[in-house]
Structure 1
Amino acid sequence: MKFRNAVNAACLVLASMGLAGQASASLMTGWTGQGNFGGTAGDGDITTSPHGSAQFGYVSTNNGVSGVGLPGVGGTGTPQDGSVALSPLFAAGAGDSLEFFFNYVTSDGAGYADYAWARLLDSSMNQVALLFTARTAETGDTVPGFDMPAPEATLDPTSTPIIGGGPLWSVLGSDSGDCFDDGCGYTGWIKASYNIANAGNYYLQMGVVNWDDNSYDSAMAFDGATVGGNVIGVPVPAPLALMGLGLLALGFARKRK
């Protein structure tokens, strides 16, 4: 009875430390990047994703850095400042499904439309697949948007028009609620799925970049990244978590004596 109580107490401690149970990739555990990226709770127009995480990941051009656009992508014009986030290296089997949700948000439009993207990279940082690009047009879908390559991922829903107006989201900084011309708004949450052809180790990269000028920022939210049903970026490998559980349980048991 004492040991069971100790185990229960240890589980509560692990949970409070974020070590117990399945972790959401939205918490950005093990993710790295450049510019303005991280995890946040929903606010304004950008609410919790269908994955149901309390927090989700984001990349934003607000307070971004130069040199993060995709080479040769975007058509006429020049990439400006932006941000990228890179997942931890993860293993995938042949045929495993990579899945995640995203929501593209922009205060920019017309001829200055920014863009966001997701890529699957191999362990040497070579592009395996440009999963999608998101960019507004004055009418029509944001994925892929004008002058952008077709997505390699499958999207749900397949139709991705912008929900128009100046989007309210704190991640946009001072441009939250603002809008430059037609094309401002957000897509709402979209599910992306991609079957990985070959077994190996991979990274998932998320990015967003300003186009032609640094005014009127854009951002992308993302959540629930899994491969083969396993979360990308767990806080502690299962054996270490179990070892920690055992040590905590022993410590509680000794104190009870």
Structure 2
Amino acid sequence: MKNIAFSALMAAGCLYSGQASADTCIGTCGSGSPNGVVTSPPAFGPGYQYISTVGGLSGAGQIPGVAGGTIGSEFLTSVFTATTGDSLNFYFNYVTSDGSGSFTDYAFAELLNNGIHAAWLFTGRTTPSGNTSPGFGLPANDSVLTPATTAIVSGAPVWSQLGGSSGSCYAAGCGYTGWIGSQYTLAGAGAYQLRFGVTNVGDTAYQSGLAFAGVTINNVPVGAVPEPATWAMMLLGFGLVGGVMRRKIRQSEINFTARVRALSEL
């Protein structure tokens, strides 16, 4: 019985680990606080997560088939389960010190289902005019953005996550988007992940970054609680362990009583 209880707990623990698998970072990722042009996000602030091309790695943070990417960073969330009709929401703020010409850095958020592309939740790109999202030459957004259209807030952006490029501007097109909301209604059940990416284009100078926050499913933060099935397994395991412990205590009481009785009969 002890082995059964232990196995139940292990099964619960493994299931929980599977549902809340570790986040993965390639390049430079971290948590930040409001500074410069990146203010407190509209939800779950004041902190946020970010990725930056500062210290980026070759080939990271890129969209397959889009030419010109050099070094970048990407962040892959833990696996989370969701069902048809669930609402996936988050906020993002694209910040770039690069400008026009051949140095059109970009960022994106991609939804994966069991590791396979499911949707583009936003794409954003350096541009001297027009909307930064969806980015020109990048996949169209599958999500609903709020605001729906966003021109770059131009000027040399001050943001510590840009490293030495903070406060710098290569040419027209540098700046930031401000916080934009992304909402996507899931078309089916699955084991999902979000992939956030940012990359330099054409060179490795004049850095760009992406801040993001408030990733939720139906207004519940992703990874906040185990799935219902996980709780059931954990409760079953705890119940079995509790039963084993009660029986061991009862058996100890019986053995102690027997020893006392034996001594009294001597």
TM tier, smaller: 0.7 to 0.9
How big is the alpha-carbon RMSD for the aligned residues of Structure 1 and Structure 2? 1.8
Greater fraction of residues in helix:
2
Question: Is 1:119 aligned to residue 113 of structure 2?
Answer: no
Offset at residue 83 of structure 1 (A): 0.4
Deviation for aligned residue 1:136: 2.1
Tell me the SS of whatever aligns to 2:55: coil
> Of residues 35, 47, 71 in structure 1, which corresponds to 2:64?
71
The alpha-carbon deviation at position 229 of structure 1 amounts to 2.1
- The separation in 1 between residues aligned to 2:50 and 2:41, in whole angstroms, is 12
Q: Which structure 2 segments of 5+ residues have no match? A: 1-20, 239-266
Amino acid at match of 2:191: N
Match in the other structure for 2:26: 34
Alpha-carbon distance between aligned partners in 1 of 2:222 and 2:44, rounded to the nearest angstrom? 16
In the TM superposition, residue 237 of structure 1 has moved relative to its aligned partner by 7.8
Does 2:40 correspond to 1:44? no
Residue 263 of structure 2 corresponds to: none
Tell whether the 8 Å contact from 2:80 to 2:191 is kept in structure 1 after alignment.
yes
1:54 and 2:22 are equivalent in the alignment: no
The equivalences for 1:105-144 within 5 A come to: 105-111=95-101, 112-123=103-114, 125-144=115-134
One of 101, 104, 121 as aligned partner of 2:91: 101
Cα distance per residue 1:33-63 (max 9 Å; x no partner): 1000111111111110111413101010010
Identify unmatched segments of 5+ residues in structure 1. Answer: 1-28, 244-257
- Give the whole-Å Cα distance in 2 for the aligned partners of 1:95 and 1:156: 19
Give the alignment's TM-score, normalised by structure 1.
0.77
How far the C-alpha of 1:126 sits from its partner, in A, is: 1.1
User: 1:117-160 CA deviation, whole Å, 9 max, x = no partner?
Assistant: 0000012x111112211002111100012222221110000111
CA distance, structure 2, for counterparts of residue 220 and residue 236 of structure 1:
28
* Identical amino acids, percent of aligned pairs: 44
Q: Is the 8 A contact 1:92 1:228 kept in 2?
A: no
Alignment of 1:142-161 (within 5 A): 142-161=132-151
Do structure 1's residue 176 and structure 2's residue 166 form an aligned pair?
yes
CA contact (8 A) 1:156 1:192 kept: yes
Q: Say how many residue pairs are matched.
A: 209
